[in-house]
Amino acid sequence: MAFEPRATSFSTANAQILAQASAVAYDTPERCAKWAKVSGFTGAFDFFDNQDTQGFVTESSDAVIVAFRGTQPNRPMDWFADFRATCDPWDHKNAGKVHSGFYRALRKVWGVTLANGEILPRRLVNRGSKPIWITGHSLGGALAELCAAQALFVSKIPVQGVYTFGQPRVGTKDFADAVNAKLGSGIFRFVNDRDIVPRVPLFSMGFCHFGGQRFFDHAGESSGADSAVETVKDAFTLAKGALNLAVLGQVAGLVTDGFKHIVSGGFTDEQERAFRESAVEILKGGVEKIDDHSMHKHYLVRLKTSLPV
């Protein structure tokens, strides 16, 4: 399928190509550049890398793609398990707050002169009339959503769409409301079955998803929801989906405790400590050891696509 650069609703072709971009972002700059050319993005290519925030910008004759790399396989995912993570103000003061760690990671490559010059937002500013698409998996998905918000609200750069895969929550309800109102119909978040990462940080901590969720169940069947800001009921349903499986997996005990937190309004100190320890144990093994989270083994397969190179 050919990429649809001006799509205004969900596109399977775009989901597949952006999933490939998110997957290849874990590889070397050379392999990313090769993927871009093979996939029809034969224009300028830039790889960015600063203090573990990595990704690339590539373009075709009619579109620009920004792809962020997630946490490398087998590296600890400590900040996903930080249940004392804070939401802090960001560069746009009237659009809620965002996860401080994720936003710091974005700012390492936004408006920063790297060894190969400034990539973001320069490449987006100089795009001509080409629509911008932003993508990423896991941490990369969080950075993709924050990049879109930074472009829209701070740099006044229009964004056509955002596709993310297994991304965590990134900001408060006020932030979610603002971004959803501006771009919600162009945001698509893929969640695979028992994947724990989209379920943290907790909704009850003040973090909130937005955009349209596309969910893959245990059998690989997909379901979609219209663009919306996450509610308590939505958060409960997302967690409950894991508990309805014949094989519960890693997330089951964690979200069970999470339900108690949502319903009761808080943990005791002992419960919170146990909850955090459970999450850390799951996440510290790295991406490839988390049930249903792998970009290559799960999300590409669910989307019926694979890397061409």
What CATH number is associated with residue 95?
3.40.50.1820
In a domain, 6, yes or no: no
Asked if residue 120 is part of any domain, the answer here is: yes
**Domain tally for the chain?**
1
Q: How would DSSP label each residue in 101-127?
A: HHHHHHHTTBS-EETTEE-BTHHHHT-
Residues 212-224 pLDDT 10s = 999 998 889 999 9
Segment 71-81 shows an average pLDDT of: 59
> What percent of the chain clears pLDDT 70, i.e. is strictly above it?
79
Question: Per-residue pLDDT for 265 more than 60?
Answer: no
End-to-end distance of the chain based on CA atoms, in angstroms?
16
Query: In the structure encoding, which two tokens stand for residue 56, read together?
Result: 């690339």
Is residue 267's pLDDT more than 60?
A: no
Question: What pLDDT score was predicted for residue 269?
Answer: 61
Strands 87-89 and 45-50: unpaired
Kind of pairing, strands 187-192 and 212-216? parallel
pTM > 0.85: yes or no: yes
Q: CB burial class (10 A; 0-12, 13-18, 19+) of residue 61?
A: exposed
Q: What is the mean pLDDT of residues 120-149?
A: 97
pLDDT in tens, 217-259: 888 999 999 999 998 888 777 766 544 433 334 454 555 445 4
Asked if residue 309 is part of any domain, the answer here is no
Q: Does residue 305 register a pLDDT over 90?
A: yes
Strand 222-224 relative to strand 161-165, pairing: unpaired
1 domain residue, yes or no: no
Asked if residue 47 is part of any domain, the answer here is yes
Q: Which residues contact 136 (CB under 8 A, 6 or more apart)?
A: 22, 25, 55, 67, 68, 69, 70, 142, 143, 144, 164, 165, 167
Q: Is the pLDDT of residue 277 over 90?
A: no
Task: State the average pLDDT for the chain.
Answer: 85
4 found inside a domain? no
Is pLDDT above 60 for 271? no
User: What's the CA angle centered on 68, arms 280 and 283, to 5 degrees?
Assistant: 10
Question: Is the per-residue pLDDT at 279 higher than 70?
Answer: no
5 occurs within a structural domain: no
100-109, 181-190, 288-297: least confidently modelled range: 288-297
Q: What single-letter amino acid sits at 69?
A: R
Is residue 289 packed enough to be buried (19+ CB in 10 Å), middle (13-18) or exposed (0-12)?
middle
Domain that holds residue 40: 12-302
